[in-house]
Amino acid sequence: MSEAAPFGGFAGIGRATAIPNAFFAGALPAMREPGDLLAFLWTARLVQEQRGEARFVTADQVWAAPGAADSFERIAGGRASLERGLAACAALGALLALDLAGEDERETVYFVNTPASRRAVVRARAGELELRPGARAREAPRERAPDIFLLYEEHVGTITPMVGERLLAAAERFPAHLIEAAFREAAERNVRNWRYVERILERWAEEGHAHEAPGQDPAERRRRYFLGDGAAGSAAR
């Protein structure tokens, strides 16, 4: 086998793909296979060449990109390594995966996990953003959905785009174990709306999770504190 010619270096001015610094500290150390890194890099490059609200690719699009198939064949082990790499990147959170279903076919699309992509995925799942003509977002496997989305669906109900934005903001602000504990406390008190959960989290952020004054704050007083006087479990979600 003949050796590839040495790379001639980069041009002073040319097209470039931006990679967030957080990738090198957060996602890259968790990657275990060469195909994981290649899958992320090719996805990042291809989505940055797109325009519009929702920027995503499929495995077929990555494989068809000039040079992509050759890189996977030589470095990672072929098409199967691309499929594994995309799934691995979605599992660790570097990419977002969304399953689409049309009349005749199903496919998985991949986004780089940015705030814009998270908003697009929320809107697509709510039926307010069509990613492919005639295709709809399928129910995501539980392990792919952010934990806060699963908790909301289990304890409150359907996620609207507006609520999705608030959930994403809360997921970035509060630790996962506190979010789970807040949903659990709300469920124990039979109050099933996001505002109640959000105020629990805000109180814990100010006072600490373990803060509890003996003999104070009974269930009804908590309900009024979080939801306002006269509020009931039917408060707006």
Angle at 228 between CA 223 and CA 230, to 5 degrees: 85
Q: Which tens digit of pLDDT belongs to each residue from 147-166?
A: 687 788 888 887 776 777 78
Domains with residue ranges and CATH for the chain? 20-141 (1.10.10.10), 146-210+220-237 (no CATH)
- Average pLDDT value for residue range 182-195: 89
Q: What is the pLDDT of residue 136?
A: 81
> pLDDT value at position 2?
47
More confident residue, 12 or 109: 109
- Average pLDDT (207-235) is 47
How far is the CA of 35 from the CAs of 72, 97, 145, 168, 179, in angstroms? 7, 17, 23, 29, 34
Residue 207 structure tokens: 């006072």
Greater confidence (236 vs 32) lies with: 32
pLDDT at 234: 42
Single-letter amino acid, residue 181: A
C-alpha separations of 18 from 24, 49, 68, 119 in Å: 12, 11, 18, 20
pLDDT at 11 exceeding the cut of 80? no
The predicted structure's pLDDT at residue 213: 41
Is the pLDDT at 33 greater than 70? The verdict is yes
Q: What is the pLDDT of residue 150?
A: 77
Closest C-alpha among 147, 31, 134, 4 to residue 90: 31
Name the token pair of 116.
């814009």
pLDDT above 90 (res 85) = yes
In Å, how far are 122, 156, 194, 200 from 230, measured between CA atoms?
32, 20, 17, 18
Indicate whether 143 pLDDT > 70: no
Above pLDDT 70, what percent of the chain?
A: 81
Give the amino acid at 149. F
> Given pLDDT bands bounded at 50, 70 and 90, which one contains residue 1?
very low
